Amino acid sequence: MRKIVSGGDERKSNLKQKRQVATFNRKKLLIAFGVIVCLLTALSIRLIYITRAYGDTYSRTVLDQQDSNSTVIPFKRGDILDRNGAVLATSEKVYNLILDAYVLLSSRVSEDYDCVEPTIKALSKYFDIPEEDIRERVNAEIAKEETSAGSASRYIILKKRLPYDKYNPFYEFTHGDSDEAKYIRGVWFEEDYLRKYPYNTMASDLIGFTNAGNVGAYGIEEYYNEELNGTNGRGYSYFDQGTVENRTISPINGYTAVSTIDLNIQRIVEKHMGGWYEKVGALNAAVIVMDPNNGEILAMASYPNYDLNDPRDLSKIYTEEELDKMSDAQQVDAMASLWKNFCISDLFEPGSTMKVVTLAAALDEADIDEESVFHCDGGLQIGEYYVACSYKYGHGAQDINQAVGNSCNDAFMEIAFKVGAANFSKYQKAFGLGARTGIDLPGEEAGLLYDPDSMIPVDLATNGFGQNYNVTMVQVAAAFSAAVNGGNYYTPHVVKEIRSESGNVVRSVNKELVRTVISEKTSNRIKESLLYTVESGLGKTAGVKGYSIGGKTGTAEKLPRSANKKLLSFIGCAPAMDPEVVVYVVVDEAKLKDYGDSSVACGITSDIFRELLPYMQIYPEAETEVYVEQTDTEAAQE
């Protein structure tokens, strides 16, 4: 008889069977999980035991077979070149000699195969290191291991910055087939680069130098640090199934900076100014040579200078006794002062060289014309102040050329009053005075001008002949260039191109026209007065026979006026009516008994022009007759 089961009883039976299956499966999973946990626990215990008991042995075995570790491959910092490709700064590959004492000591497997002594003797032979010095360091590492003070050092620097001719013989020996080579252990070389400056002191302020880690300091080295630097590479060595596998990520070298500097022009400048400075001396002396038509600096030098390959050497400036008396802080201050570029970082009153700006403002605003005549009686009473002319007896009646050529303060005070404070201040700023030029060098100072609203009459009068406000040399050079090139103000710059390692131009630094400050007509008239100054005025000794040179003298009294300390200068251009080059010379507190006028600066300028112009293929003009006294350096010093 068939048994009939209700639907509810059938469902209960199925649920019971499912619960039994699920319970059985959970038990199996728990058993499997437990077995796995036990195995992992046993494996971990075994690994811990092996590591503690034999880990050091295994490490030594691997390291003993290893020729190199993971190392940084340094990039090569980019070169700095002159405009014609001459190398001003470069990086030379050198090698640091490293001893890995851990690997060396692991070679002491037996008395028949002990690599310590052969390695010590080889190091002493190839690198002129006393054996006892090396042995002493190795014994210190042995003692460290035997007393459980720690593992032997992996990185002991035995010698730094070895040149290739010192590194290569040892490298060939260890990679040769000789029996002795197989006993050398734990020695490797760390590649590095040493910054070199082939011309030592040449253009030191302009180029700058590098500190540890390829960090540029001063000059082009600092300003273009990011472009000159590259990216380090890395070399890896690892074992794969008993063989050593090597992988290298190549470094990316830095870009090359092509400067606007002409090494030959720089040589000419340093020959004449440097020779004068070394013989006579001054607080500071400096020269800028500039292309007035694009803002390129062709040469820049200031004194005292320093050796780029040893920038911290003060022995050429101070005696041994003076250095002994100086504290560390004082020596640091002395070095900072030495490294500072006078041409862009020192502020001074420019003096009569900036009468050019006063004249430009008056001519461009039509405050004076060709018929203007000024009267000089030796000085001018301005309220409670009496401002004297450079010639206390007075120049008498002066036309424009005579006022410039004789550097008549009376005339230029009168001209400044005609221009007025507002317009005078406007032209000062238009010519870039009292503001950073934007030159591509670090440490440029701005200067200080009067605000026209606070400029009282005596301030306007003294500003009119270049006193009572502060500028830098590069500001004066850029302003003068604008006055003689047709009225265009260009940003001064010292680098013209950035190139890749392969020589491709990455970036060009083109001339940058900031603004037009005066008309071409005004510029031409200024050049006529500057030519007159050299032909017939106070700038005669800056001339060179056969050449048309225009320029302006400058004799600025420093503060306090009672100290009778002066900054002498001359700024000139050639050819006078179509300038291709501007030369600006400054001598700050010349160490001479009598240096009351700018003849010293004129003489140095003449010496520079005499050699510079033929080099630049600027040839004499037969029709030009310039009266020239003896203008060599010795005559200027007399």
Longest pairwise C-alpha distance within the chain? 156
**Of 92-101, 264-273, 354-363, 557-566, minimum mean pLDDT range:** 557-566
- Sort 204 into a burial class: Cβ within 10 Å, 0-12 / 13-18 / 19+: buried
- Between CA 554 and CA 465 the distance in angstroms is 10
pLDDT tens digits for 213-229?
899 999 999 999 999 99
Task: Looking at the structure, tell me whether residues 255 and 270 fall in a common domain.
Answer: no
Q: What are the φ/ψ torsions at residue 550 (nearest 5 degrees)?
A: -110, 150
Q: CB 478: neighbour CB atoms within 10 A? A: 29
SS3 content of the chain, % helix, strand, coil (to 5): 40, 20, 35
- Between CA 606 and CA 601 the distance in angstroms is 9
- Between CA 285 and CA 76 the distance in angstroms is 35
**More confident call, 71 vs 417:** 417
**Of 92-101, 142-151, 314-323, minimum mean pLDDT range:** 142-151
Residue 238's domain comprises: 69-90+192-259
pLDDT tens digits for 2-41?
444 445 555 556 666 666 656 767 777 778 777 787 788 8
Task: Looking at the structure, tell me whether residues 572 and 508 fall in a common domain.
Answer: yes
Task: Looking at the structure, tell me whether residues 174 and 214 fall in a common domain.
Answer: no
Q: What is the pLDDT of residue 153?
A: 84
Task: Looking at the structure, tell me whether residues 409 and 426 fall in a common domain.
Answer: yes
Task: Looking at the structure, tell me whether residues 246 and 123 fall in a common domain.
Answer: no
pLDDT tens digits for 480-499?
999 999 999 999 999 999 99
Q: What is the pLDDT of residue 12?
A: 58
Q: What is the pLDDT of residue 246?
A: 75
Alpha helices in 128-208 (DSSP H): 131-146, 164-174, 204-207
Predicted confidence (pLDDT) at residue 276 exceeds the cutoff of 80 = yes
Predicted confidence (pLDDT) at residue 633 exceeds the cutoff of 50 = no
**More confident call, 244 vs 60:** 244
Query: Is 131 within the bounds of a domain?
Result: yes
Q: What is the pLDDT of residue 268?
A: 98
434-452: average pLDDT: 97
Q: What is the pLDDT of residue 433?
A: 98
* 622 contact partners, CB below 8 Å, separation of at least 6: 546
**Of 188-192, 524-528, 540-544, minimum mean pLDDT range:** 188-192
Query: Is 327 within the bounds of a domain?
Result: no
Q: What is the pLDDT of residue 63?
A: 46
Q: What is the pLDDT of residue 141?
A: 82
Evaluate the CA torsion angle 291, 297, 299, 304 in order and state its sign.
positive
Q: What are the φ/ψ torsions at residue 116 (nearest 5 degrees)?
A: -65, -55
pLDDT band at 630 (very low <50, low <70, confident <90, very high): very low
User: 494: which DSSP letter?
Assistant: S
- Between CA 541 and CA 112 the distance in angstroms is 85
Determine the 3-state secondary structure of 136 from DSSP: helix
Query: Is 276 within the bounds of a domain?
Result: yes
Token couple for 50: 């092996």
- Between CA 262 and CA 298 the distance in angstroms is 5
> What's the whole-number average pLDDT of the chain?
88
Q: CB 322: neighbour CB atoms within 10 A? A: 13
- Between CA 206 and CA 187 the distance in angstroms is 41
Predicted confidence (pLDDT) at residue 609 exceeds the cutoff of 90 = yes
Task: Looking at the structure, tell me whether residues 112 and 165 fall in a common domain.
Answer: yes
Query: Is 379 within the bounds of a domain?
Result: yes
Residue found under tokens 């400058």: 554
Token couple for 565: 């300390």
- Among 224, 239, 259, residue at a domain's last position: 259
Q: Beta strands 187-196 and 87-99: pairing type?
A: antiparallel
Q: What is the pLDDT of residue 2?
A: 42
Sequence-ordered strand ranges (E) for 114-251: 156-162, 187-196, 209-211, 215-217, 233-240, 243-249
Q: What is the pLDDT of residue 638?
A: 35
Residue type, 227: E
Task: Looking at the structure, tell me whether residues 126 and 208 fall in a common domain.
Answer: no
**Of 6-15, 564-573, 600-609, minimum mean pLDDT range:** 6-15
**Of 26-30, 127-131, 589-593, minimum mean pLDDT range:** 26-30
Residue found under tokens 């009883």: 9
Q: What is the pLDDT of residue 11?
A: 57
Task: Looking at the structure, tell me whether residues 368 and 234 fall in a common domain.
Answer: no
pLDDT band at 466 (very low <50, low <70, confident <90, very high): very high
Q: What is the pLDDT of residue 162?
A: 93
**Of 34-48, 423-437, 610-624, minimum mean pLDDT range:** 34-48
- Between CA 146 and CA 617 the distance in angstroms is 77
- 615 near 268, Cβ under 8 Å? yes
Q: What is the CA radius of gyration of the chain?
A: 38
**If residue 71 lies in a helix (H) or strand (E), which one and from where to where?**
strand 71-73
* 82 contact partners, CB below 8 Å, separation of at least 6: 88, 258, 259, 261, 262, 263, 266
Q: What is the pLDDT of residue 128?
A: 92
Predicted confidence (pLDDT) at residue 99 exceeds the cutoff of 50 = yes
Task: Looking at the structure, tell me whether residues 301 and 420 fall in a common domain.
Answer: yes
Q: What is the pLDDT of residue 19?
A: 67
Determine the 3-state secondary structure of 181 from DSSP: helix
Predicted confidence (pLDDT) at residue 304 exceeds the cutoff of 90 = yes
Query: Is 569 within the bounds of a domain?
Result: yes
Task: Looking at the structure, tell me whether residues 481 and 604 fall in a common domain.
Answer: yes
CATH number for the domain harbouring residue 197: 3.90.1310.10
Give the total number of structural domains in the chain. Answer: 3
Predicted confidence (pLDDT) at residue 150 exceeds the cutoff of 70 = no
Predicted confidence (pLDDT) at residue 58 exceeds the cutoff of 60 = no
- Among 202, 227, 259, residue at a domain's last position: 259
- Among 159, 185, 211, residue at a domain's last position: 185
Using a pLDDT cut of 90, give the percent of the chain over it.
68
Token couple for 631: 């203008």
**More confident call, 515 vs 21:** 515
Task: Looking at the structure, tell me whether residues 134 and 233 fall in a common domain.
Answer: no
| Full 3-state SS string of 394-411 | CCEEECHHHHHHCCCHHH
Query: Is 15 within the bounds of a domain?
Result: no
Task: Looking at the structure, tell me whether residues 78 and 155 fall in a common domain.
Answer: no
In the chain, count H helices and then E strands. Answer: 22, 23
Q: What is the pLDDT of residue 13?
A: 61
Q: What is the pLDDT of residue 247?
A: 84
**If residue 88 lies in a helix (H) or strand (E), which one and from where to where?**
strand 87-99
Token couple for 564: 């009778």
Query: Is 47 within the bounds of a domain?
Result: no
**What is the number of alpha carbons within 13 Å of residue 354 lying toward its C-beta?**
35
Query: Is 339 within the bounds of a domain?
Result: no
- 636 near 602, Cβ under 8 Å? yes
Token couple for 70: 């993971």
CATH number for the domain harbouring residue 607: 3.40.710.10
Predicted confidence (pLDDT) at residue 595 exceeds the cutoff of 80 = no
Q: What is the pLDDT of residue 21?
A: 59
pLDDT tens digits for 321-348?
999 999 999 999 999 999 999 999 999 9
**More confident call, 199 vs 151:** 199
pLDDT winner (highest mean) among 86-95, 104-113, 139-148: 86-95
Q: What is the pLDDT of residue 53?
A: 54
